[in-house]
Amino acid sequence: MKLINMNHCRKFNEGTVMFWKLFIKNDKHERSAEFTRESIEENRVDEKNEIDPDYRMTVFLSLFEKPPRKRKGNFPAYITYELGIINTEQYFDELCEKQFIEPAPKNSVLALLKVSELKEILENNDLKKTGNKPILVERILNEADLSQIQILTESYYSLSQKGLNFLKSHNDFIRIRQNSQWGIGINEYIQMKDISNGTKTFDDIVLSLLNQKLIAIKKKRFDLSQYEYHRLHEIYLSIYQLLQDRREPQNAIKPLLSSLLLSVSGCENYWLIGYKHGLRLKNVEVLKNYVPIHVNEFVAMNIIGLKDYYSEQAASDIYHSFIGPFNLCTLEMFGEITKKLFISTTTPDLSQYDEIIKKEFIKKLK
């Protein structure tokens, strides 16, 4: 089988101790995040442009989970550019030989047809056309002349039980691929999984990698690009969702507060400083592109939903752990804005705070 030697996964960042103290403070989780520089160096994978074979097989097999497919069917383009599979038919044959894929059962193949097409088959066989789709399929299988049904003369395939079991045991690969907003490459995930040696859950590994990405951005504090500004929001919201899914509301509110603080810090306009100096513009020209501070509706709604888990101490911890080139919002203002959320039925008006932030920002332009 021919494979393209390529790497669409992000390089694993330099090893560093996870800093979960911002979002998760209990000892159990702190210990679960302690991947040291030494352990990462010891377990560093060979940085060749190779695609993990289990990942390749997982993504390919997922195409056959449902509905059935033809051997010579049209496969998505990513089969080649992401998985590096040039000859899909040859790769398919290999998986059939290993009994991961098998001929699809007739009922699954018939289910590919529309209800109107099933009724046409029944009519041609002088059979009743009443009932829902599963009943129509069953009636065709039991009473119709199957040799005259075109689709059943074609070769369709689906996963065998062995294939289903493999897919189930590698569901973590599917989740990584489906959640592109995490920004976690599959090789990056596999390396951290190997380091954990089976002692960490999927969520623990993902949270550790997300926190590592926060550290990487923090190191670039004064080189924060617009892309990285938006990545920070994405990472905060991803951490929130994972913690919320784990039913840890007392921790889930913290990344939301971090996202809120980032939005009202004024540093979304950081790029304008370089813009002014690079083009030697006057302040009035630069300020045409100024973005007023604002609150993301999703963030606001979910902070309100976690109101019972808010505390001034948590807000203070978030404030003093701010990641960004500068924070023009005072701790007092941050507290006031948060409390405005709790008493508002709509996104609160922040114009009075923006006036203060804007004045402070203009000072940065000098």
What pLDDT digit, counting tens, does each position of 66-95 carry?
A: 899 998 878 999 999 999 999 999 999 999
Examine the domain organization and report whether 143 and 276 are in the same domain. no
Query: Is the model's pLDDT at 186 over the cut of 50?
Result: yes
Q: Do residues 264 and 150 share a domain?
A: no
Whether 17 has a pLDDT exceeding 80, the answer reads no
Given this model, what pLDDT does residue 14 score? 34
Which amino acid makes up residue 78? Y
Provide the mean pLDDT of the chain.
87
How many Å apart are CA 198 and CA 220, to the nearest integer?
32
Select from 142, 159, 176 the last residue of a domain. 159
Q: If pLDDT is split at 50, 70 and 90, which confidence band does 316 have?
A: very high
The pLDDT confidence band at residue 49, using thresholds 50, 70 and 90, is: low
Q: What is the pLDDT of residues 199-252, one digit of tens each?
A: 999 999 999 999 999 999 998 877 788 899 999 999 999 999 999 999 999 999
> What pLDDT was estimated at residue 24?
55
pLDDT at 30: 41
Say which residue the tokens 């001929």 belong to: 103
**Domain of residue 137, residue span:** 102-159
Task: Write out pLDDT tens, residues 127-161.
Answer: 999 999 999 999 999 999 999 999 999 999 999 99
Looking at the structure, do residues 280 and 349 belong to the same domain, yes or no?
yes
Predicted pLDDT at 27: 43
In this model, does residue 39 exceed pLDDT 80?
A: no
Do residues 261 and 332 share a domain? yes
- Please indicate, yes or no, whether residues 225 and 146 belong to a single structural domain of this protein: no
- What pLDDT does 243 receive? 97
Mark which of 128, 159, 190 sits at the end of a domain: 159
How far apart, in Å, are the Cα atoms of 2 and each of 89, 90, 98? 11, 9, 18
Q: Inform me whether the pLDDT recorded for 285 exceeds 70.
A: yes
Within this chain, do residues 329 and 233 fall inside the same structural domain, yes or no? yes
pLDDT at position 28 over 50: no
Whether residues 132 and 257 share a domain: the answer is: no
Q: Given 139, 159, 179, which residue is the final one in a domain?
A: 159
- Contacts of residues 304-310 at CB distance under 8 Å and 24 or more positions apart, as own/partner, are 304/341, 304/342, 306/249, 306/252, 306/253, 306/256, 307/342, 308/249, 309/249, 309/250, 309/252, 309/253, 310/253, 310/257, 310/338, 310/342
Regarding whether 354 and 224 lie in a shared domain, the answer is yes
Judgement on whether residues 277 and 148 belong to the same structural domain of the protein: no
pLDDT of residue 72: 84
Does residue 75 sit within a domain? Answer: no
* pLDDT at residue 48 tops 80: no
Evaluate if pTM is beyond 0.75.
yes
On whether residue 90 sits in a domain, the answer given is no
Q: Give the helix ranges, DSSP H, for the chain.
A: 27-32, 37-42, 53-62, 78-81, 88-97, 106-110, 115-124, 133-143, 161-169, 171-178, 186-196, 202-219, 226-245, 249-264, 271-279, 283-286, 297-305, 312-320, 331-343, 351-365
How many domains would you assign to the chain? Answer: 2
Percent of the chain with pLDDT over 90: 77
In a domain, 86, yes or no: no
